[in-house]
């Protein structure tokens, strides 16, 4: 089509026409708009879980310039949101099918019962703040033995983890700690008794006069804090802004560095975009984890994926993806080498009227009764007496019939001792929990069953709650405090131990036949895929493992280069 005007008018017309044509070329068509709208949002890394591994990954990757998304199935929690006691099951327990949307999860298997945390900050919301380093045996045993000089390589990362988590020692001992000191002295171990490293801000030294102060850890870049008042509520959620949970350090700083955190979302699918080894990236699908009315799912794209959902999140998801052949390159060792930290939890309920075992921090003292184990005094805050309904007098026996017989005998011969468990006033003030852990090793294997994961013995002896030394220590403690010993009823009925430190299932190995991840925690068979959580722990630490998970993740993230 031409133009019939003079030369100047014709030139102006042609110029306008060119501009219009260019604009039309730049303007997306309706189809283009729809296609772009349906494309998944893209990230450099998607991190599944926000516990000790996920939080470290989020901060370090964000600092290196990567676009990071953290997906957490639990909720955000603040001090004012936590339950005052563990009788408030709706706020304490995580059982969304029953309408309980708290942060404490109980998972039962044939061979073990495990306690874990759910929420933004993962296990740090519910754990006992305790951050000891394991003995040298840990670094030279298990699946990862000999693959690196672990103790030497991890040393700087342990130091960084301690700095980030605000490690300190409690400035005071209380009744439960003093009782444990008496036990240590009676065994000739008084010199080994100490306050463990804990992740708590003590302010001026603790007390009701503690005031909120500006960030004491990160040159003013972190949140303001308040000193500990020793209320004992660490494991039901610190209401006083003193516990150094991950939302106050790693995750807080990660968000300031640009990381995005999605709470209340559960990842259901992880699969490669195109290349089977994930070289082209991954598609990650998630859905609402707390609502059963709104289950619509959403998919995002990531160049890399980091599994940090703990054993029950990571191992379960990996097993599901392997079964569905979405991650068919995964090692056959997925779900194997599960460790329970070989621990025992025993309740000691005192008859004394003048003791208050609820006062202090969750774990304020520790000592090694022998070269393979550690004993800690654990407490809940005043009013938290839920565990009494799930406990029975402590009995040992080779099978359930022997144990039931002993329980019946105790009921007949010592009915008052039995009933005291259920009718003691101020239960948490009268009760101290003995946590005994040891380095001795045995492993389980988790597999996909008809109704979810099932457990079986993999190596060594079947885990047991019936540890003779733990029983001896509990009886000795009972004598010191004029009390009685009790255990979880599941242990008496099933013979399966309870643990707050379920580990392994995606361990480090020299090859896919011996482990799921390599020494840098990269998943065998896949590009840019990592496991950074308790399921990567590849030996039995014999102490609380949170610091080790943090240090191992610091090392793994340190090996990832800055974004170009």
Average pLDDT over residues 248-273: 97
Q: What is the mean pLDDT of the chain?
A: 90
The token duo for 520 is 């840098």
pLDDT at residue 1 in the model? 42
pLDDT at residue 2 in the model? 43
**pLDDT of 26 above 70:** no
**pLDDT of 362 above 90:** yes
pLDDT at residue 34 in the model? 42
**pLDDT of 294 above 90:** no
**pLDDT of 20 above 60:** no
pLDDT band at 6 (very low <50, low <70, confident <90, very high): low
Average pLDDT over residues 480-498: 91
pLDDT at residue 464 in the model? 87
Task: Give the SS3 label for residue 448.
Answer: strand
Average pLDDT over residues 372-388: 93
Task: Tell me the DSSP string of 34-77.
Answer: HHHHHSPEEEEEEEE--SHHHHHHHHHHHHTT--EEEEESS---
Contact by Cβ (8 Å): 134, 151? no
Q: What percent of the chain has a predicted confidence (pLDDT) above 70?
A: 92
Average pLDDT over residues 372-385: 93
pLDDT band at 428 (very low <50, low <70, confident <90, very high): very high
Average pLDDT over residues 364-391: 93
Instruction: Give me the active site residues, please.
Output: 501
Q: Which of 207, 249, 252, 209 is nearest to 231 (CA)?
A: 207
Instruction: Please give the torsion angle defined by the CA atoms of residues 477, 480, 481 and 483, in that order, rounded to the nearest 10 degrees.
Output: 60
pLDDT in tens, 85-111: 999 999 999 999 888 999 999 998 888
**pLDDT of 58 above 80:** yes
pLDDT at residue 59 in the model? 98
Q: Which residues pair with 265 in a beta bridge?
A: 288
* Highest averaged pLDDT of the listed ranges 25-29, 335-339, 415-419: 335-339
pLDDT in tens, 139-167: 999 999 999 999 999 999 999 999 999 99
Average pLDDT over residues 55-61: 98
pLDDT at residue 206 in the model? 66
**Run of H or E residues at 467:** none
Helices 546-558 + 52-63 axis angle, to 10: 30
pLDDT in tens, 187-226: 999 999 999 999 999 998 766 778 899 999 999 999 999 9
Average pLDDT over residues 524-545: 95
Name which residue leads in pLDDT, 437 or 308: 308
pLDDT at residue 419 in the model? 82
pLDDT at residue 14 in the model? 53
**pLDDT of 327 above 70:** yes
Average pLDDT over residues 343-372: 93
Least confident of 33-37, 189-193, 261-265, 348-352: 33-37
What Cα–Cα distance (Å) separates residue 548 from each residue in 18, 183, 413, 525?
Answer: 65, 28, 46, 25
pLDDT at residue 441 in the model? 76
pLDDT in tens, 535-553: 999 999 989 999 999 999 9
Q: What are phi and psi of 339, to 5 degrees?
A: -120, 145
pLDDT band at 269 (very low <50, low <70, confident <90, very high): very high
pLDDT in tens, 466-481: 999 999 999 999 999 9
**pLDDT of 18 above 60:** no
pLDDT at residue 423 in the model? 85
The β-bridge relationship of strands 297-307 and 282-288 is antiparallel
pLDDT at residue 194 in the model? 95
Inter-residue long-range contacts of 422-428, CB under 8 Å, 24+ positions, other chains counted: 422/388, 422/389, 424/349, 424/388, 426/358, 426/382, 427/349, 427/385, 427/388, 428/232, 428/357, 428/358, 428/379, 428/380, 428/381, 428/382, 428/383, 428/384, 428/385
pTM of the model: 0.90
pLDDT in tens, 127-139: 999 999 999 999 9
Average pLDDT over residues 270-285: 96
Name which residue leads in pLDDT, 44 or 340: 44
Domains of the chain: 42-78+91-558 (3.50.50.60)
């Amino acid at each position: 089509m031409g133009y019939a005007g003079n030369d100047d008018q014709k030139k102006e017309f042609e110029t306008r026409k060119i501009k219009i044509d260019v604009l039309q070329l730049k303007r997306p068509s309706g189809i283009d708009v729809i296609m772009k709208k349906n494309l998944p949002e893209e990230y450099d890394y998607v991190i599944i879980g926000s516990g000790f591994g996920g939080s470290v990954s989020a901060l370090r990757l964000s600092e290196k310039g990567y676009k990071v998304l953290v997906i957490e199935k639990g909720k955000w929690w603040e001090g004012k949101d936590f339950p005052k006691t563990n009788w408030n099951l709706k706020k304490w327990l995580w059982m969304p099918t029953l309408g309980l949307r708290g942060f404490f999860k109980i998972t039962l298997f044939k061979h073990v019962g495990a306690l874990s945390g759910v929420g933004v900050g993962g296990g740090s919301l519910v754990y006992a703040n305790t951050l000891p380093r394991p003995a040298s045996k840990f670094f030279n045993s298990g699946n990862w033995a000999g693959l690196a000089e672990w103790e030497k390589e991890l040393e700087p990362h342990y130091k960084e983890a301690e700095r980030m988590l605000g490690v300190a020692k409690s400035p005071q001992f209380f009744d439960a700690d003093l009782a444990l000191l008496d036990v240590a002295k009676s065994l000739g171990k008084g010199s080994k008794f100490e306050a463990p490293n804990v992740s708590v801000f003590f302010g001026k030294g603790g007390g009701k006069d503690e005031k909120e102060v500006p960030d004491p850890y990160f040159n003013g870049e972190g949140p303001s804090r308040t000193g500990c008042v020793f209320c004992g509520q660490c494991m039901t959620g610190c209401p006083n802004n003193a516990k150094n949970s991950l939302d106050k350090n790693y995750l807080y700083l990660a968000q300031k560095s640009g990381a995005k955190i999605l709470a209340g979302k559960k990842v259901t699918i992880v699969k490669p975009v195109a290349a089977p080894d994930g070289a082209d990236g991954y598609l990650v699908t998630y859905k609402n984890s707390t609502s059963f009315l709104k289950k619509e799912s959403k998919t995002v794209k990531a160049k890399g994926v980091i599994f940090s959902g703990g054993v029950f999140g990571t191992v379960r998801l990996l097993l599901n993806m392997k079964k569905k052949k979405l991650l068919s390159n995964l090692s056959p060792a997925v779900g194997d080498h599960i460790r329970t930290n070989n621990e025992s939890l025993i309740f000691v309920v005192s008859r004394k009227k003048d003791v208050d075992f609820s006062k202090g921090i969750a774990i304020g003292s520790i000592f090694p009764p022998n070269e393979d184990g550690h004993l800690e005094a654990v407490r809940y805050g005043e009013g938290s007496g839920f565990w009494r309904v799930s406990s029975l007098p402590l009995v040992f026996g080779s099978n359930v019939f022997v144990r039931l017989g002993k329980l019946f005998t105790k009921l007949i011969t010592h009915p008052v001792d039995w009933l005291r468990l259920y009718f003691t006033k101020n239960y948490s003030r009268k009760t101290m929990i003995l946590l005994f852990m040891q380095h001795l090793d045995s492993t389980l294997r988790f597999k996909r069953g008809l109704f979810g994961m099932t457990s079986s013995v993999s190596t060594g002896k079947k885990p047991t709650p019936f540890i003779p030394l733990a029983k001896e220590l509990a009886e000795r403690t009972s004598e010191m405090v004029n009390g009685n010993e009790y255990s979880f009823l599941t242990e008496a009925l099933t013979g399966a131990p309870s643990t707050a430190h379920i580990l392994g299932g995606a361990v480090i190995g020299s090859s896919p036949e011996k482990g799921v991840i390599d020494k840098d925690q990269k998943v065998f068979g896949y590009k840019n895929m990592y496991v950074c959580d308790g399921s990567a722990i590849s030996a039995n630490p014999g102490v609380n493992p949170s610091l080790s998970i943090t240090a191992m993740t610091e090392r793994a993230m340190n090996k990832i280069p800055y974004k170009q």
